[in-house]
Amino acid sequence: MSRRELRIVGLGDSTTAGTPEFLSPLESPPDGKGNRESQCAYWIMKTHPEWEVFNRGVNGQRSDEILSRFKRDVVKEKPNYAIILAGVNDVYQGVPLDSIKTNLKPMYMEAIEKNIVPVAATVLPYNSSKMEAMEIHKLNRWIKAATNRLHIPFADTNLAVADPSNMDRLLASTDGLHPDVSGYRSMAIVLVLAIEQHLKSMHAQNGS
């Protein structure tokens, strides 16, 4: 399969933006500020220079806040793919899981309706989570199940950055809350794989 140009939006909170070392273009217009390697978008484009990835992450936002800007930051960009990563701030603030689900599902559905392929990513762990860790597991199981029902790409970004000896902690972090540069690179690897696999399946279905 030949390499093709893609337009991709990464929509989410701090772990899309690149916190703590990078401020996204929404946080520091127009181009962002800080260590550009501290974001998934950078590493995705390093792997596929022919892909254009827009970092639309905002530190601290809940899923309802991310949903509220879906039309502006995703639909208006007319991307081929939208990486959706949201929910950890909801869990941190004690928002019920059912509320998070009612915010995530419309994002998946509206993307599909607009001929944008949503890539559902799992919520990351953070080192100070205790009771919240169980909620993160429950949410991520729902995300995985939703991708099966909707037949959309799935990326286990949680697994990509978790410490194998304690899956409720980050393998590497400068602040205990977010991945370091190596973690963002690991996230990009699984996101790229999810998109590549989807492209391959579409290619096979089209028989070309």
> Which two structure tokens, joined as six digits, stand for 188?
């990009």
6-206: CATH superfamily? SGNH hydrolase (3.40.50.1110)
> Which two structure tokens, joined as six digits, stand for 175?
């602040």
Query: Sign of torsion, CA 65 66 67 73?
Result: positive
89 forms bridges with which residues in the sheet? none
Give pLDDT tens digits for 19-62: 999 999 999 999 999 999 999 999 999 999 999 999 999 999 99
Q: What is the rounded distance in angstroms from the CA atom of residue 37 to the CA atom of residue 185?
A: 8
- The pLDDT of 101-121, averaged and rounded, is 98
Most distant CA pair in the chain: distance in Å?
A: 49
What is the C-alpha end-to-end distance of the chain, expressed in Å? 9
Question: In which band, very low, low, confident or very high, does the pLDDT at 166 lie, cut at 50, 70 and 90?
Answer: very high
- 96 Cβ contact list (under 8 Å, min separation 6): none
